C-alpha cells in the first residue's frame, strides 16, 4: 500500500479497511518506516486504565527515520530552511546531511553533559535551527524532551521543570520576536531558583543580550560544540528505543489550574505524524513546506519537525511574527523561498486580512499548491480570503482538526483528494473512528446532528499518559464516557456526514490558537493581593477567536480601577505569561453562584458575549440580584 491516497474512491476503500482491519492497516503503513527490529504485536489496548501499546516489541529511533535513512538519496536536499526575524539577516539552510551532522554533534554535547536515555531535558529556545537540533539530539540519545514555549513565564517554566524532574535546560541568551527581545536566559534563571533537579544549563548565543552564567551550572552551547570538535567530532549512533519508550512530554492546559504533561511515545507517534503529514498535504518530492507554528506547541513538534522530516520534506521555519516589519511578511517569505505548502492558524489569517489586501497585492504567490489551517474553528470570511487571496482559488485548504493529545491530525481533508467545505474539518483520516455522544454518553447516530466529539478506537499517535499522574489521564480523557476517548470539543455532523468542530465544551479557552485553562487564569488573578475571587470566561473576539473576560471581586483597598487592572495583568503575565492576560476585567461585588457555591459560568459567558436577553433560570442562585449588577457593569465596560 502506498502512503499517499490518490482519489476519493481510494480514501473510501482504505478508510473502510482501516476500520475493519485496523491492525493490518497500520502494519502496512508502518512498513514504510525504518525499524531496527519489527513489532510482535501491532496493538494492545483498553480505554479503561487506559493502556495503549502500539508496535510492541519493535525497536527503532525516530531520528534514524527523520535523518539517517534520507541521507543516501536526499543528503543535499534542504531539510530545514530558516527565515530569521529580521528580513535583513541572512536565512539559513540545513541539508539532510548537515542536519544529521549537527544533531550527532549536539547529541555528543548532551552525553558529555551527563545526559542519558530516559533523562528529561527542558528546552526553552527561540525559533532557530538549534531548537530543531536540540529536539532531535534528545530523541537520538533517548532523552525525553519537554519544550516550553518562549512566551511562558519563569513560574510556568519552573512548574514544568519540577513536574518532569528535568536534569538539563537548553536555552539562549535571548530571542527576537518582531521589535521585541525576550531575555530567555534571565527568565530561566528566575525559574531555576525553584528547581532542584537541574544540574546544567546550556546557553545558545542569539541576541548577545548580557547574561549571568552560574559557575558549575551554566555552559555556552558554542563552547560545548568546540569540545566535541576537539574530540574529533565522533559520530553519535542513535540509541535503540522500544516502541513504547517515551519520546517527549508537552504540557497543555485543561480544566484544572495545573497544566498536564501529555506523553507521546516513539513508534506510534512517528508512524502517525509521518502518515498524516504526507497524506493531508499530499507532499511532493521537491515542495517547500512552511508551517508558521512555534515549536513550543504540538503543531511545531509534529508538523515542523517529526512529520515532515520523516517524510524527507523541506520544512521552512520562521523566527519572527506575521505582522513585522509589516503584514506582508508571510507573503514575502512565500515569494523568497518559493513556498508550495503553507500551514497557519485562523487567527493569523484574520489579522492579516484585517491589515488590508495591499500587503498581498504584488507578491508572487504562484508557487502555492496547498494551504492548511489549524488550532481553532475558521470563520467563512477568513476561509474565503485565504482561498482567494492566497490560494488564488486553486489551492485546496485542509482544515486540520487535532489536539496536543492526539499527536497528529484526526479529522482533516486530504488536499485535492477529499472534498472541502469552509469551516469544516470534513472527514476522519484512515484509522480514526469519531463518534458523537449526548450528555449521557448515548451515541448520536445519523447525519445532521451535533454532540460531544469522542473517538472510539485507538490510533498510533494518541496520548499514552499524563506524566507522573496516570490517573489524571484516565479521568480527563477516558472516564467521562465509558470506553471512549473524550476530546473536549463540541461537533456537528452535517447531512453529508461532514464534521464541523464547534469549539470546546469544557473550561478551556482558545485564544489566538493558544490553549488556556480558565482555572489557570483565575488562579493567577487570585494571586493578586487585592483580589478576593475571580471567574474567567471566553467571549468571541474578531481576531483572536476567543478573548479572555475576567470578573473580579476586589477588596476594599483598591480605589483606582485602571491601576488595579494593570496590576492584575502584570500578575497574570508573571504567573503564566503574557498570552494569558485578560482582554477585559470587570470588577463586581459578587459572582452568580448556586446555593452549593458553584459559579454559574453559563450566565457569565452570556454576559461576556453581550447577549443578556435570555440568561435562563436564575432563580436557583444564592443572590439573583447580583446578575443585574453584573449586567449593568458589563454594559458600562463596553461603553
Cα distances (angstroms) measured from residue 460 to each of 75, 309, 594, 600: 29, 18, 43, 38
- What's the closest the beta carbon of residue 504 comes to ligand WT7, in angstroms? 5
Cα distances (angstroms) measured from residue 99 to each of 68, 77, 314, 435, 618: 10, 10, 12, 41, 61
d(CA 492, CA 446): 11
Site for ligand WT7 in 462-501 (CB under 6 A): 487-489, 501
CB atoms inside a 10 Å sphere around CB 267:
28
Q: Which span (276-284, 319-327, 374-382, 617-625) binds ligand WT7, by CB under 6 A?
A: 374-382
Is 425 among the residues that bind ligand WT7 (CB under 6 A)? yes
Is 400 among the residues that bind ligand WT7 (CB under 6 A)? yes
H-type alpha helices, 293-379: 298-300, 307-310, 329-337, 346-355
Site for ligand WT7 in 293-322 (CB under 6 A): 298-299
**Which residue, 30 or 250, is less far from ligand WT7 as judged by CB?**
250
- What's the closest the beta carbon of residue 374 comes to ligand WT7, in angstroms? 5
**Lookup: cell for 626:** 447580583
Q: By rule CB under 6 A, what count of residues binds ligand WT7?
A: 21
Judged by CB under 6 A, the residue of 61, 113, 207, 403 near ligand WT7 is 403
**Which residue, 541 or 631, is less far from ligand WT7 as judged by CB?**
541
Q: Are 367 and 338 in contact (CB under 8 A)?
A: yes
For 215-231, the DSSP string reads TTTEEEHHHHHHHHHHT
**Which residue, 504 or 601, is less far from ligand WT7 as judged by CB?**
504
- What's the closest the beta carbon of residue 400 comes to ligand WT7, in angstroms? 5
Is 453 among the residues that bind ligand WT7 (CB under 6 A)? no
Q: Which span (96-104, 321-329, 373-381, 587-595) binds ligand WT7, by CB under 6 A?
A: 373-381
Longest dimension (CA), the chain: 77
- What's the closest the beta carbon of residue 488 comes to ligand WT7, in angstroms? 6
Burial (CB count within 10 angstroms: exposed 0-12, middle 13-18, buried 19+), residue 300: buried
Is 515 among the residues that bind ligand WT7 (CB under 6 A)? yes
**Which residue, 18 or 299, is less far from ligand WT7 as judged by CB?**
299
Closest CA to 424 of 383, 468, 455: 383
**Which residue, 174 or 431, is less far from ligand WT7 as judged by CB?**
431
Sort residue 323 into left (φ over 0), alpha (ψ -120 to 50) or beta. alpha
Which secondary-structure segment (H or E) carries 526? Answer: helix 518-526
Is 504 among the residues that bind ligand WT7 (CB under 6 A)? yes
d(CA 179, CA 181): 7
- What's the closest the beta carbon of residue 512 comes to ligand WT7, in angstroms? 11
Cα distances (angstroms) measured from residue 530 to each of 397, 557, 563, 583, 633: 48, 7, 11, 19, 19
Is 544 among the residues that bind ligand WT7 (CB under 6 A)? no
Judged by CB under 6 A, the residue of 377, 430, 431, 592 near ligand WT7 is 377
d(CA 129, CA 617): 55
Half-sphere exposure of 238 (CA within 13 A, CB side): 24
Question: What angle is formed at CA 499 by the lines to CA 256 and CA 19, rounded to 5 degrees?
Answer: 95
Is 252 among the residues that bind ligand WT7 (CB under 6 A)? yes
Judged by CB under 6 A, the residue of 50, 328, 375, 434 near ligand WT7 is 375
Is 401 among the residues that bind ligand WT7 (CB under 6 A)? yes
Site for ligand WT7 in 183-222 (CB under 6 A): none
Is 576 among the residues that bind ligand WT7 (CB under 6 A)? no
Q: Which span (13-21, 22-30, 382-390, 401-409) binds ligand WT7, by CB under 6 A?
A: 401-409
- What's the closest the beta carbon of residue 454 comes to ligand WT7, in angstroms? 12
Judged by CB under 6 A, the residue of 218, 399, 507, 520 near ligand WT7 is 399
d(CA 33, CA 55): 12
Q: Are 303 and 291 in contact (CB under 8 A)?
A: yes
d(CA 301, CA 285): 21
- What's the closest the beta carbon of residue 477 comes to ligand WT7, in angstroms? 11
Q: Which span (80-88, 135-143, 222-230, 396-404) binds ligand WT7, by CB under 6 A?
A: 396-404
- What's the closest the beta carbon of residue 350 comes to ligand WT7, in angstroms? 14
Judged by CB under 6 A, the residue of 374, 511, 524, 585 near ligand WT7 is 374
**Which residue, 42 or 455, is less far from ligand WT7 as judged by CB?**
455
- What's the closest the beta carbon of residue 261 comes to ligand WT7, in angstroms? 13
Half-sphere exposure of 550 (CA within 13 A, CB side): 30
For 116-141, the DSSP string reads -TT-EEEEE--SSHHHHHHHHHHHHH
d(CA 627, CA 624): 6
Q: Which span (7-15, 263-271, 370-378, 572-580) binds ligand WT7, by CB under 6 A?
A: 370-378
Query: Which positions touch ligand WT7 (CB under 6 A)?
Result: 252, 298-299, 374-377, 399-404, 425, 487-489, 501, 504, 510, 515
Amino acid at each position: 500500500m502506498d502512503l499517499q491516497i490518490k482519489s476519493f474512491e481510494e480514501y473510501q476503500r482504505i478508510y473502510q479497511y482501516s476500520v475493519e482491519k485496523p491492525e493490518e492497516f497500520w502494519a502496512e503503513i508502518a512498513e514504510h518506516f525504518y525499524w531496527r527490529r519489527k513489532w510482535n504485536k501491532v496493538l494492545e489496548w483498553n480505554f479503561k486504565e487506559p493502556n495503549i501499546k502500539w508496535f510492541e516489541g519493535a525497536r527503532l529511533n525516530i531520528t534514524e527515520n527523520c535523518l539517517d535513512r534520507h541521507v543516501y538519496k536526499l543528503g543535499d536536499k534542504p531539510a530545514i530552511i530558516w527565515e530569521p526575524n529580521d528580513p535583513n539577516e541572512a536565512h539559513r539552510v540545513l541539508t539532510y546531511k548537515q542536519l544529521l551532522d549537527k544533531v550527532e554533534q549536539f547529541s555528543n554535547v548532551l552525553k558529555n553533559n551527563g545526559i542519558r536515555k530516559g533523562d528529561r531535558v527542558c528546552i526553552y529556545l527561540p525559533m532557530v535551527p538549534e531548537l530543531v537540533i536540540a529536539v532531535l539530539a534528545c530523541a537520538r540519545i533517548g532523552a525525553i524532551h519537554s519544550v516550553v514555549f518562549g512566551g511562558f513565564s519563569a513560574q510556568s517554566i519552573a512548574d514544568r521543570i519540577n513536574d518532569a524532574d528535568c536534569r538539563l535546560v537548553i536555552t539562549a541568551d535571548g530571542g527576537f520576536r518582531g521589535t521585541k527581545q525576550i531575555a530567555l536566559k534571565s527568565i530561566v534563571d528566575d525559574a531555576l531558583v525553584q528547581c532542584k533537579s537541574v544540574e546544567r544549563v546550556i546557553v545558545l548565543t542569539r541576541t548577545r543580550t548580557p547574561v549571568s552564567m552560574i559557575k558549575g551550572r551554566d555552559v555556552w552551547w558554542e563552547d560545548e560544540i568546540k569540545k566535541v570538535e576537539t574530540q574529533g567530532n565522533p559520530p553519535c549512533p542513535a540509541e535503540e528505543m522500544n516502541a513504547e519508550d517515551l519520546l517527549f512530554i508537552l504540557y497543555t492546559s485543561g480544566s484544572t489550574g495545573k497544566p498536564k504533561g501529555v506523553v507521546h511515545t516513539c513508534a506510534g507517534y512517528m508512524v502517525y505524524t509521518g502518515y498524516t503529514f504526507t497524506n493531508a498535504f499530499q507532499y511532493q518530492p521537491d515542495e517547500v513546506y512552511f508551517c508558521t507554528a512555534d515549536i513550543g506547541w504540538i503543531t511545531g513538534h509534529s508538523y515542523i519537525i517529526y512529520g515532515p522530516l520523516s517524510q524527507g520534506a523541506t520544512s521552512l521555519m520562521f523566527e519572527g511574527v506575521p505582522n513585522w516589519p509589516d503584514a506582508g511578511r508571510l507573503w514575502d517569505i512565500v515569494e523568497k523561498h518559493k513556498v508550495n505548502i503553507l500551514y497557519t492558524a485562523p487567527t493569523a489569517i484574520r489579522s492579516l486580512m484585517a491589515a488590508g489586501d495591499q500587503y498581498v497585492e504584488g507578491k508572487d504567490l504562484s508557487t502555492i499548491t496547498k494551504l492548511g489551517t489549524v488550532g481553532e474553528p475558521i470563520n467563512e470570511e477568513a476561509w474565503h480570503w485565504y482561498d482567494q487571496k492566497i490560494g488564488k482559488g486553486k489551492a485546496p485548504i485542509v482544515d486540520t482538526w487535532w489536539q496536543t493529545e492526539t499527536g497528529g491530525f484526526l479529522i482533516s481533508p486530504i488536499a485535492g483528494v477529499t472534498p472541502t467545505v469552509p469551516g469544516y474539518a470534513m472527514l476522519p483520516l484512515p484509522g480514526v473512528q469519531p463518534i458523537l455522544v449526548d450528555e449521557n454518553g448515548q451515541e448520536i447516530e445519523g447525519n445532521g446532528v451535533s454532540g460531544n466529539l469522542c473517538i472510539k478506537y485507538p490510533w498510533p499517535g494518541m496520548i499514552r499518559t499524563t506524566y507522573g499522574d496516570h490517573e489524571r489521564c484516565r479521568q480527563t480523557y477516558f472516564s467521562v464516557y465509558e470506553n471512549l476517548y473524550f476530546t473536549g470539543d463540541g461537533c456537528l455532523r452535517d447531512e453529508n456526514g461532514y464534521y464541523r468542530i464547534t469549539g470546546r465544551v469544557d473550561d478551556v479557552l482558545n485564544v489566538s490558537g493558544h490553549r488556556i485553562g480558565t482555572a489557570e487564569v483565575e488562579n493567577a488573578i487570585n494571586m493578586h493581593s487585592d483580589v478576593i475571587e475571580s471567574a474567567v470566561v471566553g467571549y468571541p473576539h474578531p481576531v483572536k477567536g476567543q478573548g479572555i473576560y475576567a470578573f473580579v471581586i476586589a477588596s476594599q483597598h483598591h480605589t483606582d480601577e485602571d491601576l488595579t487592572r494593570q496590576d492584575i495583568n502584570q500578575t497574570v503575565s508573571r504567573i503564566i505569561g503574557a498570552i494569558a492576560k485578560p482582554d477585559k476585567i470587570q470588577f463586581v461585588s459578587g459572582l452568580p453562584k448556586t446555593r452549593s457555591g458553584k459559579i454559574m459560568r453559563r450566565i457569565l459567558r452570556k454576559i461576556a458575549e453581550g447577549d443578556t436577553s435570555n440568561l435562563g433560570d436564575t432563580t436557583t442562585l444564592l443572590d439573583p440580584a447580583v446578575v443585574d449588577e453584573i449586567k449593568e457593569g458589563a454594559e458600562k465596560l463596553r461603553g
